[in-house]
Amino acid sequence: MRILLVQHNQDLSNLWSSFLRHHGVEVVQTATQSESINLLRFEAFDALVLDLVLPDGGAIAISDFATYRYPDVPIIAVTSTNFFSDGSIFELIPNARSFMRTPLRPDDLAAVLEHYVPKKAHTATKQEVA
C-alpha cells in the first residue's frame, strides 16, 4: 500500500509515517497544498491521509485534485478541530471515507487504511499516470 500523508505538524507526520512504514506501508509525506498537488500530478497513491487544517488552507483543493486525477482514491480526513464534527466533511470531500480526530493512535490510522484500501490495490507508476 502506498499513501500520501499530508500533515503540516512534522512531529505527528513522522510518528504516523514511522508506524505505518514499520507495518509495510509506503508513505510519502507532504505539508502543503503545492507539494501535494505537484506529487498528485505525476504519482498515484492507494489512499490519502489529509489534515483538514493546513497553514496554506489547501486541504479541500488537494482533495478535489486527488479526486479529479484518481476518482476512486479513498481519503482519510484528520483534524484537531471541532469544525467538521457535524459530518459536513463527507459533503465537501466525496471520497472521504473516514473522519478522525487528532490526537489519534497510529494503530487506529493503520486499521482505517487497512479497511478502506483493497488488498490488491494497484498503484500506477509515473509512466502510467503521465
Q: Where are the domains of the chain?
A: 2-120
SS3 assignment for the chain? CEEEEECCCHHHHHHHHHHHHHCCCEEEEECCHHHHHHHHHHCCCCEEEEECCCCCCCHHHHHHHHHHHCCCCCEEEEECCCCCCCCCHHHHCCCEEEEEECCCCHHHHHHHHHHHCCCCCCCCCHHHHC
Please write the tens of the pLDDT for every residue from 58-112. Answer: 899 999 999 999 999 999 999 877 666 666 666 678 888 888 888 888 999 999 9
Please write the tens of the pLDDT for every residue from 22-70. Answer: 999 999 999 999 999 999 999 999 999 999 888 888 899 999 999 999 9
pLDDT at 120: 59
CATH 3.40.50.2300 for domain 2-120, yes or no, is yes
